[in-house]
Structure 1
Amino acid sequence: VDALVRERRFDAAHVDTIGLAPLATRVPAPLVQNHHNVESAMMERRAASAPSALRRALYRSEARKLAELEWRCADYTALHLAVSELDAERLRERVGAADVRVVANGVDTDWFAPRRALGHGDGGLVFAGAMDWYPNREATRWLVREIWPLLAADRPERRLAIVGRAAPAEVAGAARADARVEAPGFVGDVRPWLDDASIYLCPIRDGGGTRLKVLDALAMAKPLVATALAVEGLGLEAERHYLRAEAPHEWLAQVRRLESDAALRRRLAEAGRRLVARRFDWSVIGRALVAAHRDAARAARPLRSISGGTRAPAPDTAAPLPTRRCPDAAESEAG
């Protein structure tokens, strides 16, 4: 970074995670900080659902440290980018009157485009996501442990593909024990797996931000069954863009509905594809991101005088932070 600054002048500095923000103080330009998640909020949520008291204490401690880092980094950040209005609200609660703008995650709708007929019903069920990311890992464990046995017993000819690297032991074991379950690991191109499937399952119950996997699935015109948390921040409407399921028996009921109703499959497929093309295509997101960078550069505010004393006090790192729950998080996650 020091070498680059000596060689060139920069109008703005963009950092893609809060962990890199301190490094950007070396760049004499307004800082734009991108938040894929509000890290402290995500850790608070993880603490709330941790299975042991020790893990809960550890995650709460991490949440306090992350909240303090978010607060301190606001001192030298010209513009914060959040992926949803919900995350923007969470971030403002932590950093006060800082400039926070929403620039959503996006998807290349030309690349992720269906080849097969919309709403076709001759494929199986699919989930795609890297399982070294803990929300995906826990989601797939829950899927094979509690949801798939109901689906398999109800209709023995059903098939399930869980696509992505670092499959946990439960997923790998299910694929070995049951010929109807596939776990191919990392694939160079996920589109054929999505295209062949009839229904995309997203049983995410933890994490933060918004889920790119959901945007990919909708761009591929997949009828989607998901938890409310899995689609959090995307503006999806249940029964219009996806079918909501929380408890295992609800997953069974929603999959049954889709398998037995071709018109419903097609309606969800069309609505999901339209939504992402209109709101989340990279051409739309790119314009918003460019505008944000231009505004940050034109502001030309000194790097360390952005907050002007208007931010909220730093969080009390000796006391637990209040845990904010999104709608439906109590019943039900984000990558």
Structure 2
Amino acid sequence: MRICLITPRFPYPLLKGDSLRVYHQLEGLSRRHQITLVSLNDSPLNPEQLEPLSKLCEQVHVVPLPRWRAALNLATGLFTPRPLQVEYHRSSRFERTLSTVLARGRFDALHVSLIRMLPYVWNLVGKQVIVVDLIDSMSLNLLSRRNEARGPMRLAYDLEYRRVRDYERAVVQRFPSLVISSPIDQQLLGGPHIQVNPNGVDLEKFQFRGLEGRNPATLIFTGNMAYPPNQEAVSWFVRQVWPLLRPRWPRLQLEIVGADPPASIRALAGPGSNIQVLGRVPKMEERLGKATVAICPMQSGSGIQNKVLEAMATGTPVVSTAVANQGVQGCQERELLIGNTPEEFAFAVDRLLLDAGLRRWLGANGRALVEQRFRWEVHVARLEALYAGQKPEATLEPSGWGTSGESTTGRQLMAGKSATKALLGLGSETR
């Protein structure tokens, strides 16, 4: 088949959850199909970034989205009913590029990543096979952030949450083939045609490691640290749980691993804190394979947590909150331990530090869970079935959601680059 894959950012390097998902989709699909990738990107690319995907794709088209253009999109987006993160990615140049690509090639299917790109294919429903990978429910993500926010940011999150919620409802009505990573997100969106297709793990890269050769009493948190829920999780753990563990384990170490840690996270690694903020590392699998326990104390977020899957793949026992386990759906006491309060979380970590047999049990069962349910080969096979079996039918178009929808009265949002990026989830996703 010939497939056109449309993304809101170039999926390399693999710093964010959506990039990881798209990259492995491309890698798997390219073995049997011809792929054309059409991406927006708000930062310049170098040849080293382009080369890996050029090997996987028949054609690669990258359309730059200048920061000034994105900022203007946000300003004008205040006066439309669409979510700001959809408006952020508006580009007439991208629209022209995609139209040219589609006119020149006969594609068996269009694969669209995230709701941010749907205005570009809104009017193609019924004319072209379209598979939309929502990845996770953005409204669920924003709802949890809104509930935790205070002051002006709560109002800003509430506005974007309501827009995204309404937009997702329109998407569910309009597009007949939708994919999502987690059953919880599927239930929230409620469409019977939404299929769960969870993330996978590269099992050759993230190989299982036993207890031998691991660093003593070392906890690890992994994830893109530009993602606000990851920042929130680490801050909660250090503030609420770490003080409960240190008196019992004075040599306990915490490693915070992931790209782009902000100043607030870097400041946690003060003298005598036993906390290291390592930023991006060349081989995440090696850091995980050396740790005693992987922690995932997520307080908000949606979708499936890649950090949990990757830790399980390496045999590293996991302590998570229920929020972090929603997408993975691991079994308490068999594949991971769950703690929702600071006391519960600290107790679970303490149990693992004390009990090598429990670490071995959870490590082996976690690896087995990943092998059974979270393989990229299975993920890609499900996509292929959707491409081949799709029967598109025209549906009624809710007004205001296409690229030329009618405007409504705007509301003023809090200014500031970091607040805007947090609100839009542009530094996400679930990794």
1:58-105, Cα deviation, whole Å (9 max, x unpaired): 22211111122123334541201011222111112xxx56x2111111
Partners of 1:82 and 1:101 within 8 A in 2 = yes
Which amino acid is the alignment partner of residue 216 of structure 1?
A: E
Extract unaligned runs of 5+ from structure 1.
308-316, 319-333
Greater alpha carbon shift after TM alignment, 156-165 vs 35-44: 35-44
Tell me what 2:361 maps to.
267
Structure 1 residues 118, 246: CA separation in 2 closer, same or farther (over 3 Å shift)?
A: farther
Once the two structures are superposed, the pairs formed by residues 71-150 of structure 1 within 5 Å of their partners are: 71-92=169-190, 99-117=193-211, 122-150=216-244
Q: Provide the rounded CA distance (Å) in 2 between the counterparts of 1:156 and 1:232.
A: 32
Indicate which of 131, 134, 139 corresponds to 1:35: 134
Which amino acid is the alignment partner of residue 201 of structure 1?
A: I
Tell me what 1:16 maps to.
113
Once the two structures are superposed, the pairs formed by residues 96-245 of structure 1 within 5 Å of their partners are: 99-117=193-211, 122-178=216-272, 180-245=274-339
Partners of 2:294 and 2:319 within 8 A in 1 = yes
State the secondary structure of the residue aligned to 2:300.
Answer: coil
Q: Provide the rounded CA distance (Å) in 2 between the counterparts of 1:179 and 1:88.
A: 41
Which amino acid is the alignment partner of residue 56 of structure 1?
A: R
Asked if 1:56 corresponds to 2:150, the answer is no
Which amino acid is the alignment partner of residue 14 of structure 1?
A: H
Which amino acid is the alignment partner of residue 279 of structure 1?
A: R
Partners of 1:210 and 1:232 within 8 A in 2 = yes
State the secondary structure of the residue aligned to 2:143.
Answer: helix
Asked if 1:276 corresponds to 2:370, the answer is yes
State the secondary structure of the residue aligned to 2:247.
Answer: helix
1:262-298, Cα deviation, whole Å (9 max, x unpaired): 11110000000000001001122222222122222xx
Q: Provide the rounded CA distance (Å) in 2 between the counterparts of 1:306 and 1:103.
A: 26
State the secondary structure of the residue aligned to 1:160.
Answer: strand
Q: Provide the rounded CA distance (Å) in 2 between the counterparts of 1:62 and 1:179.
A: 37
Asked if 1:257 corresponds to 2:338, the answer is no
1:105-148, Cα deviation, whole Å (9 max, x unpaired): 11111211134547967351100111111110111111222222
Structure 1 residues 223, 20: CA separation in 2 closer, same or farther (over 3 Å shift)?
A: same
| Structure with the larger RCO, 1 or 2 (CA within 8 Å, 6+ apart) | 1
Greater alpha carbon shift after TM alignment, 167-176 vs 134-143: 167-176
Greater alpha carbon shift after TM alignment, 127-136 vs 177-186: 177-186
Which amino acid is the alignment partner of residue 260 of structure 1?
A: L
Name the TM-score, length of structure 2 as normaliser: 0.66
Structure 1 residues 202, 149: CA separation in 2 closer, same or farther (over 3 Å shift)?
A: same
Which amino acid is the alignment partner of residue 128 of structure 2?
A: A
Partners of 1:119 and 1:198 within 8 A in 2 = no
Q: Provide the rounded CA distance (Å) in 2 between the counterparts of 1:75 and 1:198.
A: 46
Structure 1 residues 208, 119: CA separation in 2 closer, same or farther (over 3 Å shift)?
A: farther
Q: Provide the rounded CA distance (Å) in 2 between the counterparts of 1:35 and 1:20.
A: 10
1:5-32, Cα deviation, whole Å (9 max, x unpaired): 1111112211110010111236541221
Asked if 1:69 corresponds to 2:167, the answer is yes
Aligned residue pair count: 303
Which amino acid is the alignment partner of residue 18 of structure 1?
A: I
Tell me what 1:301 maps to.
393
Structure 1 residues 116, 236: CA separation in 2 closer, same or farther (over 3 Å shift)?
A: closer
Tell me what 2:103 maps to.
6
Q: Provide the rounded CA distance (Å) in 2 between the counterparts of 1:74 and 1:12.
A: 18
Which amino acid is the alignment partner of residue 58 of structure 1?
A: A
Q: Provide the rounded CA distance (Å) in 1 between the counterparts of 2:215 and 2:269.
A: 23
1:224-244, Cα deviation, whole Å (9 max, x unpaired): 111011111222111111111
Q: Provide the rounded CA distance (Å) in 1 between the counterparts of 2:397 and 2:386.
A: 16
Partners of 2:217 and 2:251 within 8 A in 1 = no
Which amino acid is the alignment partner of residue 240 of structure 2?
A: E
Greater alpha carbon shift after TM alignment, 4-13 vs 75-84: 75-84
Quote the offset at 1:49 in angstroms: 1.9
1:182-235, Cα deviation, whole Å (9 max, x unpaired): 111111211111011010011111011111111111111111111011111222
Tell me what 1:314 maps to.
none
1:141-160, Cα deviation, whole Å (9 max, x unpaired): 11222222222222111111
State the secondary structure of the residue aligned to 1:287.
Answer: helix
Q: Provide the rounded CA distance (Å) in 2 between the counterparts of 1:177 and 1:134.
A: 25
State the secondary structure of the residue aligned to 1:154.
Answer: coil
Q: Provide the rounded CA distance (Å) in 2 between the counterparts of 1:3 and 1:241.
A: 49
Q: Provide the rounded CA distance (Å) in 1 between the counterparts of 2:354 and 2:174.
A: 55
Which amino acid is the alignment partner of residue 304 of structure 2?
A: T
State the secondary structure of the residue aligned to 1:177.
Answer: coil
Which amino acid is the alignment partner of residue 79 of structure 1?
A: S
Q: Provide the rounded CA distance (Å) in 2 between the counterparts of 1:167 and 1:260.
A: 31
Which amino acid is the alignment partner of residue 253 of structure 2?
A: R
